[in-house]
Amino acid sequence: MPRTIRWGIIGCGNVTEVKSGPALQLARNSALVAVMRRDGEKARDYAARHGVPRWYDDAASLTNDPEADAVYITTPPSSHMPYARQVAAAGKPVYVEKPMGCTYDECQAMLDACETAGVPLFVAYYRRALPRFRKVKELIADGAIGEVRFVNARLYVAPDAGDYDRENLPWRVRPEIAGGGKFLDLGSHALDLFDHLLGPIAEVQGQAANLAGLYPVEDTVTAGFTFASGALGSAVWCFNAYNARSVDITEIIGSKGMIRYGCFAEIPVELHTMQGVETFAIENPAHIQQPLIQMLVDELNGSGRCPSTGKSAARTNRVMDAVLQRWRVGHVC
Per the structure, the complete domain to which residue 168 belongs is given by 128-287+316-328
Quick one: 184 and 280 in the same domain? yes
- pLDDT on residue 244: 62
pLDDT of residue 333: 46
Angle, CA of 163, 76 and 154, to the nearest 5°: 55
* pLDDT the model gives residue 245: 73
Strands 269-273 vs 257-261: parallel, antiparallel or unpaired: antiparallel
Q: Is residue 308 part of a domain?
A: no
Say whether both 243 and 207 belong to one domain.
yes
Q: Helix 188-198 to helix 310-328 angle, to the nearest 10 degrees?
A: 130
CA distance 135 to 131: 6
Say what the pLDDT of residue 198 is.
98
Residue after which a domain boundary falls, among 95, 125, 155: 125
Cβ 192 vs Cβ 128: under 8 Å: yes
Give yes or no: residues 88 and 134 share one domain: no
Decide: 197 and 252 in contact? Cβ < 8 Å: yes
Spatial contact of 332 and 217, defined as CB atoms under 8 Å apart = no
Averages of pLDDT over each 10 residues, the chain, 333 residues: 96 95 98 97 98 98 98 98 98 98 98 98 98 98 98 96 96 96 97 98 97 97 98 98 87 98 96 98 98 98 97 98 92 56
Q: Are residues 83 and 135 in the same domain?
A: no
Same domain, 81 and 158: no
Report if residue 78 sits inside a domain: yes
| Residue 314 parent element (H or E) | helix 310-328
